[in-house]
Structure 1
């Protein structure tokens, strides 16, 4: 069945999977679309909802093409739900690479038996902090390891400095969680547990998780907590710091990625952020702008008087949040490094 011809093909090439998901949901009835959305996490719902709200002037050929692609892909699968774990594992390995896919798969498969923790994803950080405030620090560490790093960082900010240190130390040294521990955790959070005792232990936490959470703390909290961690265990602190993505690491992002990032950042924020950058990074930014825009930015930087360090750090954090969001969406590839921001 031919649908749409060259115009539809061109439209499909310019659409990403999020746009296609939005079109598919908009093509369903409200009840069916709601049932699909119930199966998604909070971030997925927000992203798909935003994409749906931005749809405009979608041709019938494009809609037909998306529906046809969806039906073809569904038809190519046999026995949906049979051997689902193997299918998901292979799909994620292909898309993300084996190492990254392993941790992601653990979270997906873990989700079927962690209703209590999953419910926390939909709560605001202060409310989650209140829920787990009186729990043992090990339970708090497991919860924050399971949630998204940005949410965990916001939750952590609601605890006193001493408590933040203990939780982060436990997150960094956490390796796996036994089924019985998950069962106890969900009894605490939801008074029920749907997992099976035969499940293997789940990989969770570790220095990478700790680094991701640290990346989302504000500048003052990040430096304070890193200093406290190094006071207790300097090697562990260094390991966490080596895995963190900081503003100076933007030098490792390729030119195309820098250009994409600059389109998402306001000039006011960029000027503040570059006040704390070295000459190498400044030149990298200038070289990825038009000659006129680079000249204007240089002039604005020179004209900008002294600014507080906290303002510079806040601007750099804002750009890093955008960079991580774009990396998560596959729009840019972040570099890595171990240089701490000064």
Structure 2
């Protein structure tokens, strides 16, 4: 969703997950909430505490909707404001003072962080993907507000042309009026931070796919087979996110050429050891004439190569492809599932 520079009044906050729990606990008050919190483990208390500290105002209508959802009637409730002091009152008497102090020190630190500090702590790949969908002037403004170390990492993920354009815009940027900046910050929180939390489930599949991508092929297949028997939908999502060395032949010719332009010749030679003739032919077609001759010459040698070195070379090429795809430099096509293994 493009945030632009136009003003926009954010609507009521949509409560999700731990925020809903925090709102209900605060609405209960200390006596009832204390009884509930005794059944939480320390990690759950820590998570709810953080949510309560960042909760802000919750209207009566929202509280009533929450209570109705849990089969209760809360028709005479009042608005509440979630903050660190309120949740600290709930925790006192339930947990030892030193544990309450540790939790609150962590929570207050997070609550006092502004939107720019919070964005600065997010993965540079996520920020770069978000900013590449925005107008360059908006992207430049955001990069000028986050921590310099974060901005540098994000810029490194950008295509060269866009990176240079953003630098020029940042150098010539004029001050933004307070009202406009507040609107941008509110929109960023809604479109970026909230959606980032909302998509945590989808992000877990991406993280798991990244782990599986780095497994040995037989281990990968074993994990997916086992998962398919228990959680078939998750298995399908993971399969769509995976990219193995076999999948290189599914790349568009231009993308394949861009990929192998980044790979050292000796690594290409190692990776192609033991591959089928057709697979090897497709990869060689992506190389320049000079490099192709060098690779063909090396592949003609009969010197044995440790299997571990071959696997590491293939994994390095696969990782490079995934990184380039994350930066938007190439497109990984995982839809063609009927390609047979070629090695």
TM bin (shorter chain): 0.3 to 0.5
Q: Which has the higher contact order (CA 8 A, sep 6+)?
A: 2
